[in-house]
Structures are given as structure tokens and as C-alpha cells.
Structure 1
């Protein structure tokens, strides 16, 4: 049974439109530089599903992505020209990881953060906890299904 996640991104850096425009609607999810989020990336398996969440201005869940490649070294950490460069990362000690994701669906309507906060079924969702700032986090199957329903889509099945 697939696990469920939330992937948070700033739409000015990378949006669901960017994912839709990527070759095969697939890209690596790189640049994560938080140890807890790295742990979650390492736990992801092919076939897991993720809510695609735009943060910052008009924060909202906007669609669903599927994990299509498990954690591998994040090469952006080893590239001095990349904004995610980390001088501690080497081929022998990559430090950071990334996964590959593919767009599964866009929601008919974004599910704003404010709407999620009003839903009793989402009261325990990590995203809604005060001070929660992780860019990658687990989501329960029930939370995932409820957010999909709010977005006008049936819960996505792998």
C-alpha cells in the first residue's frame, strides 16, 4: 500500500505548471536541505503519492504527484554553480538526497490553507501544526483523501 506525503514548494521557484511542462511531466525533487525532510525523502517508495503544495503567496494544495524513483544522491549539492550547493557534499558522502516525481493530476480547484484549517478531518495534519515549516512531510491516507476531495478529485490510487 502506498504511503502519502506532502511536497511543499514556492511556486515562483517551481510550480505545478513547471512539473506539467517537464519532459514526461517528471522531475527530480532536489534542493531539500533539512535533516528531517531528508529522512522523509529516504522513506519514500516508488508508487507513493504526494500532495503538491504551493507555499508563500496563496498557499494551497494544487494537485497530486507520484514518486517514480526512490532517494538517490542530490547532485545539486555537489554543483558549485547551483543555488543548493553544499561544500560538505562529495561523491563519497553526498549528504543530501532527492527523489523523482511525476505529475498524476491537478486539482479542479486549489485547496487553500485556510480551507484546510477549517476541516475537522485535517485537525491533526502536520502541515497545520503551529511552527511546521518542513518542505516534505507525511500525510495520512485519510488526510490525503480529504484534501483530494476538497480539490475536486477522487483520492488518487497507485
Structure 2
């Protein structure tokens, strides 16, 4: 186990944002899946699919409620690399599996993100329709601080 942890720490951790409509797949449903996690299926955008292909085990992401709430509500971890999406027979579409890590002490709304000058270039602001998107390390830290979390404690 020690080798695995060391390897993860040495690998460059990437950050992501996963959007879901809470009436279709909510944070509570994601948490209920536990350690096994759940496929992030149904993505039919090439750029989002390619982002998932770039993900590594242990990468972290924000779980974002879109349409209803429009807020970052939790942190997830990639627990399975890109593989065929089980919701289609079309081999072009792949997905990763993610598991819930922890909820945020305070949600961070889209309005708050847009109002934060340091986040004006964040994909959530500039590519709002993309369901899976990268988050820069500095953006990750700012959103966590806005949520009342110390980024070094995640």
C-alpha cells in the first residue's frame, strides 16, 4: 500500500469539475455509491470525453449541480480509468468512474464563482455548457477557500 500512496503523490494530480443535474444524478446519490463509485456515463461531447481519457486514478474533482442549484457541492475522486460507456454500444464514447470524497462545508454557487475576479478564466465561467472540464490548481484552491476548506487538508 505504501508504494501506491507514494506513486500517487509523485504523479501530478489533476483537478476536474463534473456537472450533473441533481434531478437526474445528485450528490446524495453519488455519496450513496460509496467506495465503488459510479460511472460518469452519458457524456456525448468529444472534448469532455477526451478530458476523461486524460484522467488518472486519484485525480480529484468538484461535483457540481447544474440547472438546479448551480453550485459546487462536493469533492469526488477518479476511481476507474476511461472505459467504454455502458449506456451505449457506440465505441466512441467512454467514461471514468468517480467516488464521493466529501461534501463542502458551504456550497459555492455559480454566481459566487463569476463574482470572484480570480476565477474569470475558469472553464465553469468560460465553457459553461461543458459537462466535464479541467480545473487549474489555483482555481481548485480558491473554490475550496470559498467553501470554507483549507486546500491543504483535502
| TM > 0.5 fold call | yes
| Contact 1:63 1:106 (8 Å CA) reproduced | yes
Give 5+ residue unaligned stretches, structure 2.
1-11
Mapped to 2, the partners of 1:63 and 1:156 lie a distance apart of 16
Give 5+ residue unaligned stretches, structure 1.
79-88
Determine if the alignment matches structure 1 residue 154 to structure 2 residue 141: no
CA shift in 2, pair 1:25/1:15, >3 Å: farther
Instruction: Find runs of 4+ consecutive structure 1 residues off by over 6 angstroms.
Output: none
Mapped to 2, the partners of 1:99 and 1:39 lie a distance apart of 11
Mapped to 1, the partners of 2:101 and 2:114 lie a distance apart of 25
| Contact 2:33 2:99 (8 Å CA) reproduced | no
Q: Look up the match of 2:110.
A: 113
Determine if the alignment matches structure 1 residue 32 to structure 2 residue 43: yes
Structure 1 position 24, deviation (Å): 2.6
CA shift in 2, pair 1:138/1:29, >3 Å: same
Q: Look up the match of 1:75.
A: 86
Instruction: With the length of structure 2 as denominator, give the TM-score of the two structures.
Output: 0.87
Bigger helix fraction: 2
| Count of residues in Structure 1 that have an aligned counterpart in Structure 2 | 143
Q: Look up the match of 1:140.
A: 136
Two-structure CA RMSD over aligned residues (Å):
1.5
